[in-house]
Structure 1
């Protein structure tokens, strides 16, 4: 019985350590740099930036002018949010990256058509 408790305790500690390390390693990125999420997004992210699953993108913007919508590849290419797409409009949104391609567009005032969209590939 004591051996079973020791094994369970060890597994619990190990799982907690793994979760802590993943959280501690996550980075936060301000989308667009000092200008934030705006129509001048074309030079972001800087060349050579590496993203990982679990990293956080912080979108800061004027919610009267812009929003952030998480879309799929088709939504990104067509500038149309599919049904059920996650829309953010607080003006200060944090989005966790998933492994693979992460697509973001603005659906207000035709800004996506003006190239206010990004795709981030997370390792």
Structure 2
């Protein structure tokens, strides 16, 4: 007569089912993690959106979904998202939307984004920013 163990085939199936459930739940949590990992950046760091901001993004790994926050004195500055030509020439295209809250937030899509201050002379003094989101 064969000896019987303490467990049975039914208990083994229950253990395997529970292990599979743990693996599935773990996978679901891990696949949702990138959505929760969007970084928030204050443009210009503690100094905020200011003159000579051009190089601020250098060395930073910015991803699609990350959020840029432009903090500045809304009485004397603003922010406008522009195209490359406007960025290079520091011109404000007709109809461009100017952000003026002093705490503007922009969620980035994949690609390169260009921002300028539209106040006269500010962009040419370096108050502009190009950011590439991967």
Q: TM-score, normalised by structure 1?
A: 0.77
What is the deviation of 1:65?
Answer: 0.9
User: Tell me, which stretches of 5 or more residues in structure 1 are unaligned?
Assistant: 1-13
- Could you tell me which residue of structure 1 aligns to residue 70 of structure 2? 59
Partner SS state of residue 74, structure 1: helix
Partner SS state of residue 41, structure 1: coil
Aligned CA-pair RMSD = 1.9
CA distance in 2: counterparts of 1:48 and 1:116, whole angstroms: 19
Q: 2:35 aligns with which of 23, 38, 57?
A: 23
What is the deviation of 1:78?
Answer: 1.0
Counterpart check, 1:38 vs 2:50:
yes
What is the deviation of 1:39?
Answer: 1.0
Based on CA coordinates, which of the two structures has the bigger radius of gyration?
Answer: 2
Q: 1:102 aligns with which of 100, 108, 113?
A: 113
Count of residues in correspondence between the two structures: 106
Residues 115, 56 of structure 1: alpha-carbon distance in 2 compared, 3 angstrom cutoff: same
Counterpart check, 1:93 vs 2:75:
no
User: Tell me, which stretches of 5 or more residues in structure 2 are unaligned?
Assistant: 1-27
